[in-house]
Structure 1
Amino acid sequence: MTHEAPEKNRHLNRFYYTIDHAVEKPFNWKQMWRLLTYLKPYAKTYLPGAVIAMFISTAVRLIVPILIGKVAFDMVIANKNITLLTYMVIGIVVLYSLSYIGNVFRIKWVNILGQNVIYDLRQHLFSHVQRLSHRFFDTRSGGSIIVRIMNDTNSLQELFTNGIINLLMDVVTLTGIVVILLALSPKLALAIMVILPIMFYISTKLRRNIRRSWQDVRIQQSRLNSHLNESIQGIRITQSFSQEKANEEYFDGVNTDNFKSWQTATKKSAMFGPFVELSNALGTVILISYGAYLILLGEAGGGIAIGTFVSFGFYIGMFWEPISRLGQMYNQLLMAMSASERIFEFLDEQPNVVDKKDGTELTGMNGQIEFDHVAFSYDEERTALHEISLNIKAGQTIALVGHTGSGKSTIANLINRFYDPTAGSVKIDGHDLRDVKLDSLRRGISVVLQDTFIFSGNIMENIRFGRPDATDQEVIDASKVVGADDFIQRLANGYETEVEERGNILSAGERQLLSFARALLANPRILILDEATASIDTETEVKIQKALQRLLTGRTAILIAHRLSTIRESDNIFVLENGKILENGSHDELMKQRGDYFELVKSQFEMLDAM
C-alpha cells in the first residue's frame, strides 16, 4: 500500500516548516555528554551496581569458551581425564549461575535508572518551558511543544534503560575477545580482523544519512502532533463549517509525510544489519579455511591445536554479535541525538523577560501605574505602541477603547510584564518593572480574559487557582460576591462538580463568572479585565456590573471593552488607534468633545437601533 499526500494541500504544511527544520551537523559528542550528565544523581546508587553486574555476566561469557576449547578438547578429550571433566562442568554451572544473578540485577537496576533519568529530564524540560516568555509561545504551536516534552523525551528512554549499559557491555566484550584471540593465535586473529577497516569505512559513510533521516522523523512527528492538537481544539469550528473532508485531506498530507519519513529512516537503518551479517560470513569463511590450514600445520609447525580452533569458533560467533548490536546502538544514538537536539534547543531558550539578580521585591503594592514614552514592537514589521505616556493613580479605574489592533491588550501585557517595552519604561509605584521580581509583581495583579481558561478538575479547585492557600469558605465568599454561587449551587455536586477539559460542562458566561471569582480570591491590587464581559449575556451582565462595583473598590483597574455599560463609569477613558492615544477623559468629557470616542459610542447605538 502506498500513501500519497494530496498535492492541493501541500501548501498547508508551510506553517509547520517554520517551526522545525533539519540541520546537517556532525555527531555532537559534547551534547551527548550533556545528556549523560542526567545520570549524575544516580552515580552512587543504581549505576555502579548495574556496571558491576554487567562485568560479572560479561566475564563469564569470555571465560566459558576457553574452558570448552582449551580444557575440554586439549586436556579432557586428549587425556581422557573424567575427573577434570567433572570439575569443568561444575565450574561452568557455577559461572552461569553467577551470570544469571548478574543479569537479573543488571536489568532491574538499569530500568530503575532509566525511568528516573527520563522523569528528571521531562520535569526539567517542563519546568523550564513554564518559565519562558510569551514571545516563545507566540512562535510555536502547542502541539510542537507537547511533542518535545513527551515524544522526544520518550525516545531517549531506550538509551537510558538499556543502551548505555549495553554499549559498555559490548565494548568490554569486544575488547576482551580481541585480547583473547590475539593471545590464542595472533596469525588467525589478524586474518579474521582484516575486514574490520572495510566495515568501519562503509558504516561511517552510512551514518550521516541515517542521522538526517531520524532528524526528519522527529520533525514530521512534531508537525503531525501540532495539527492533531489544532484539529481537536478547533473541532467545533470544523463541524460548524462542514470542513471535515478538507480537514481529513489536510491530515492525510501531514500523516503521509510522517509515514514516509519513518519509511525512509527504517530502510536506511535496516541496511546496517545485513552488512554486519555479511561481515560475519566473511569472518567465518576465513576462520574455517585459514584455521583448518593452521591445524594441519600443528603446534610444532607454528599452527594451532584443535581446542584453540574451537575457542576461536565460539569467540567469532560472539565477536559479530556485539558489533551488530553496536550498529543498532549507533542508530539508537542517532535517534537520541535528534531528540536531544530538539530538547536542548528548548532548554537553551532563554526568557526575553528575566528577573534581575538584585531585583526589588514589590511588597505592599499601591497600584499606581505609569507609562513613560513607551514604544513596543512584537516584530520588526509591526509597531504596536508609539511613544505612549499615561499615568494611572492608585485605586483609579481606567478604560482602554479602540478598534482591534489599536494596542489595548499590548498595554495590559506590558503591565503584567509578559513583554518588555522596546523603548521607554513601565512603572508601578515608581519602580521600573525591569527592576522588580516577576513573582512579586504578578502576585499583585489579576487578569480576566474574554476567552477564560478553565482547568480540568472541580469548581473549587479552579477558583482556588487564584490563591492555593485559600480556605473553602473564602472560595465560596468570593463566588457569592461575583454572583457565581447561584449557578454553582444548582449543579449536582456544587463546588465539587468536575468541569471536564476547558470547563466543557459550563456555559461561556458561567466560565467567565468563575474567572471573576478566581481573580477576586487572589485579592490583587491591580485588576485587568480584557473584554471580560464580552461572552456574558444581558442577564448575567447585570450581575457582573453589581459584582464589579465591589470587585473594583480600592483597586487599580484597567478595563478593555467595547460595551459602553462596562466603561462609562471609569475615572478616565483612553481612546487608542494604531498604537497611539488619540484622546482621554471621562465619559461625559469625551462625549462633549465629539471626537473619536463620540463616534465609537454613536456607532454602537446605531448598531443597537438596527437590531
Structure 2
Amino acid sequence: MPNEEQAKRGPRFGGPMHGMGNVEKAKDFKGTLTKLAKYLGTYKLRLLGVLLCAIASTVFNIVGPKILGNATSQIFEGLIAKIGGTGGIDFESITRLLLFLLSLYLISALFSMIQGWIMTAIANDVTYRLRKEISQKINRIPLKYFESRTFGEVLSRITNDIDTLGQSLNQSLTQLITSVITLIGVIIMMLSISIPMTLVTFLILPLSAALIGSVMKYSQKYFRAQQKYLGEINGQVEEVYSGLNIVKAYNQEEVFVKEFEQTNDKLYDSGWKAQVISGMMMPIMQFIGNLGYVAVAILGGYLAIKNAIRVGDIQAFIQYVRSFTQPIQQLAQVTNMLQSTVAASERVFEFLEEAEEQQLTNNPASLEHLVGDVSFQHVAFGYNPEQLIIHDFSTDVKSGQKVAIVGPTGAGKTTIVKLLMRFYDVNSGSIQLDGHDLRDFDRNELRNMFGMVLQDTWLFNGTIMENIRYGRLDASDEEVIAAAKAAHAHHFIMTLPEGYNMMLNEESSNLSQGQKQLLTIARAILADNKILILDEATSSVDTRTEILIQKAMDHLMKDRTSFVIAHRLSTIKNSDLILCMKDGDIIEQGTHDELILKDGFYANLYNSQFENAS
C-alpha cells in the first residue's frame, strides 16, 4: 500500500524470447478479441481491401500448379505421340500456357504487395493511435495508480505491449487470411484432380498433428522456465547496474557474479532443451511430408497407368500437397501470434479503461481573485480507507502565511501535501480554499495555483534553459535568467560548458544533487504561483547555499501562502505557523518561540537536532 515514504521501484524488464510455446495468454480472450475487433472497425474499408487483395493473390497463386501440370501433360503426351510417330510437342501451346502462368504469378505478387502495404499502414495507425490515447490517459489517471505499480509495469504497456500488438497484428491478420484461403483453395484443387489421392493426403494429417502436439507439450515447460530465468537475469542486471556504486562500495561484486552465474546456468539449460526439442518439429514435419509425397507418387503412378489421371496432374498434386501442409503450419503459428496479440491488447485496454480522476461538480468554482486562504476541517484520510493515516487534521492558514509542517518520518506530512494538491481526495472532512471545497475546483486549474519544490529533483533531457522554463513555458530568456539569479543558480550555470544551453543527460548525472535542486527552485520561482509547497527543498545543498536559498525563498514566499516540510528545524524558525505532527494528528502548533516555551514535542525535536549538530 502506498504511503508518504513509499520506495520508488525501478523497471524490471524481461525481454521477449520468441519460440514455439512461449506465448503469454490473455485472461479474457474472447472479450479482448471483441474489443480489438471494435477498435479495428475504424479501418473496415481498408481491412476489406486487405481481404480482397489476399483472396486475389492467393487464387492466382493456387491456379499456377494446375496450369503447369497441363503444360507437363502436353509435353509428356507430345513425346509419346512423337515416339509413336503420330505427332509431336505443341511448343506454341506450351509457350502460351507458360506466359499465361507468368502473368498470373505477377498479378498475384502485385496483389500481395498491395495487401502488405495496406496492412502495414493499418498496424502503424493502430500503434500511433494507441500511444496517443495512452499519453493522454496518463494525465487523467489518479496518482494512486502509479504509486501501486512499478515503473516498468506501466512503461511496458506503452512500449512492449503496443509494439507486440502492432507487429503481431500486421503479421497474424494477413497470414490468417492467406492461410485459410490457401487451405480452402488447395483442397478444392486437390479434389478436382483426384479424390483418392486427396484422401491419402488427409490420412497423414492425424499422424503429423499427434507427433507435433506431443513435442510442443513436452517443450512448453522448458520455454516457461526459459522466460522465468530470463526475467530473473534481467532483474539482476538492472539492479546491479542501477546500484553499481553501492555494489562496489561494499565489495559485493563476487556475490552478484555468483548469483548471476547460477541463474544464467539455469537459463542456459532450459533454453538449450527448449530449442533442441522445438527444433525437432521441422524434421518431423519434413519426414511425414516426404511419406506423403511417396504415397501420392505411388498412387498417382498407378492411376496414370490406368489412365485415370494425366501425368501432369501428379506433378500438380505434389505441389498442392506441399502447399497444403504449409498453411496448416502457418495457422499453428498464427494461433500463437494471435494469443500474443490479444494478451498485449488486453493489457493496453486495461490501462485505457482505468478509472480516471473525476470532477465532482459540473460547474467548477472559478480560481479568479483567489487570495490563498486555506482551511483544513477535520480531515481524515487513508490510502486504504480501513487504515487511516490522517485522523483529525484541522487548522486555518491565512493568505501570505508561511506554514511549516514538521514531525517524524511517517507522521503524514507529505500526505497532507498530496491532499492539498488533490492527488487524493479526503475520506472525510474537507480542505477549503478561500471558502470553497477543493472538490469544487477543476483539478488541472487548481494545480495551476501551486508551485512545488520536492526533495527528489526532476529534470528532463534538455538544456538548462528549457528545464527552468518548464515552470512557465511562455517565459522569456531574461525572465529565466532572473529566476536563476533569485535561486542563486546563475553563478554555477555560467561556469558550466555552454551555460544555459548546456544539455542535461537523461539522468541529469552531469550535475550535482545540489545543483539540480537549485534548478528546480529556479523553476518554482519562475512559475510565480500563489501557493508554494516546499518539501525538503534545501535538503540536498550545503549549509552556505542553504542560507542563500533561504533568503531567496523568504523573498519568494512574501505575500504568498507557503507550506514548508522540513527536517532541518533551523530553516523554519521564522515561520508564521508551525504544525507539529505525529501519527497523522497535529499535537502542537504555534510559532517557533511559542513552541519552544511549551517545552513539548517540538522543543525536544529542535533541541535534539541542536545537540546533534553541536
TM-score normalised per structure 2: 0.85
2:145 is matched by which residue type in structure 1? F
Residues 1:571 and 2:576 aligned together? yes
Unaligned runs of 5+ residues in structure 2 are 1-8, 14-22, 82-88
1:200-349, aligned counterparts within 5 Å? 225=234, 227-252=236-261, 270=279, 273-274=282-283, 276-299=285-308, 304-349=309-354
2:65 maps to: 65
Alignment check: 8 A CA contact 1:143 1:227 kept: no
Residues 1:555 and 2:560 aligned together? yes
Q: 1:375-429 CA distances to partner (integer Å, 9 max, x unpaired)?
A: 2223478542222222222222111111111111111111112223333333333
Residues 1:189 and 2:198 aligned together? yes
Q: Distance in 1 between the 2:262 and 2:132 partners?
A: 33
CA RMSD of aligned residues (A): 3.4
- Residue 575 (structure 1) shift: 0.6
- Residue 449 (structure 1) shift: 1.0
Three-state SS of the structure 1 residue aligned to 2:567 is coil
Alignment check: 8 A CA contact 2:402 2:561 kept: yes
Structure 1 residues 181 and 319, CA gap change in structure 2 (3 angstroms)? same
- Residue 480 (structure 1) shift: 2.0
Q: Distance in 2 between the 1:472 and 1:306 partners?
A: 85
Q: Which moved more, 1:478-487 or 1:335-344?
A: 335-344
Q: Which moved more, 1:113-122 or 1:510-519?
A: 113-122
1:8 maps to: none
Q: Distance in 1 between the 2:346 and 2:277 partners?
A: 21
1:476 maps to: 481
Alignment check: 8 A CA contact 1:211 1:335 kept: no
1:139 is matched by which residue type in structure 2? S
Alignment check: 8 A CA contact 2:406 2:566 kept: yes
Residues 1:360 and 2:364 aligned together? yes
Q: 1:200-252 CA distances to partner (integer Å, 9 max, x unpaired)?
A: 67767887888888777777666655554444433333333333333444555
1:320 is matched by which residue type in structure 2? T
Q: 1:464-522 CA distances to partner (integer Å, 9 max, x unpaired)?
A: 11222222222122222222222222223121111223322222222111111111222
Three-state SS of the structure 1 residue aligned to 2:400 is coil
1:430 maps to: 435
Q: Distance in 2 between the 1:480 and 1:391 partners?
A: 33
Alignment check: 8 A CA contact 1:483 1:513 kept: yes
Alignment check: 8 A CA contact 1:143 1:225 kept: no
Alignment check: 8 A CA contact 2:489 2:519 kept: yes
1:134 maps to: 143
- Residue 560 (structure 1) shift: 0.4
Q: Distance in 2 between the 1:553 and 1:264 partners?
A: 70
1:244 is matched by which residue type in structure 2? E
Say how many residue pairs are matched: 586
- Residue 313 (structure 1) shift: 1.3
Residues 1:114 and 2:114 aligned together? no
2:32 maps to: 31
1:508 maps to: 513
Q: Distance in 1 between the 2:548 and 2:503 partners?
A: 24
Residues 1:452 and 2:466 aligned together? no
- Residue 149 (structure 1) shift: 2.8
1:464 maps to: 469
Which structure exhibits the higher relative contact order, with contacts defined as CA atoms closer than 8 Å and separated by 6 or more residues?
2
Q: Distance in 1 between the 2:366 and 2:279 partners?
A: 60
Q: Distance in 2 between the 1:409 and 1:399 partners?
A: 12
Three-state SS of the structure 2 residue aligned to 1:156 is helix
Three-state SS of the structure 1 residue aligned to 2:376 is strand
Q: Distance in 2 between the 1:360 and 1:224 partners?
A: 51
Structure 1 residues 185 and 422, CA gap change in structure 2 (3 angstroms)? same
- Residue 84 (structure 1) shift: 1.6
TM-score normalised per structure 1: 0.85
Alignment check: 8 A CA contact 1:374 1:421 kept: yes
Q: Which moved more, 1:102-111 or 1:583-592?
A: 102-111
Report sequence identity in percent: 34
Residues 1:488 and 2:493 aligned together? yes
Q: Distance in 1 between the 2:283 and 2:363 partners?
A: 62
Q: Distance in 2 between the 1:545 and 1:131 partners?
A: 35
Alignment check: 8 A CA contact 2:143 2:423 kept: yes
Structure 1 residues 541 and 27, CA gap change in structure 2 (3 angstroms)? closer
Alignment check: 8 A CA contact 1:210 1:331 kept: no
Q: Distance in 2 between the 1:437 and 1:194 partners?
A: 69
- Residue 146 (structure 1) shift: 3.2
Q: Distance in 1 between the 2:209 and 2:94 partners?
A: 41
2:289 is matched by which residue type in structure 1? N
Alignment check: 8 A CA contact 1:144 1:225 kept: no
Structure 1 residues 142 and 387, CA gap change in structure 2 (3 angstroms)? same
Three-state SS of the structure 2 residue aligned to 1:135 is helix
Q: Distance in 1 between the 2:134 and 2:273 partners?
A: 29
1:114 is matched by which residue type in structure 2? A
Three-state SS of the structure 1 residue aligned to 2:539 is coil
Alignment check: 8 A CA contact 1:38 1:121 kept: no
Q: Which moved more, 1:535-544 or 1:197-206?
A: 197-206
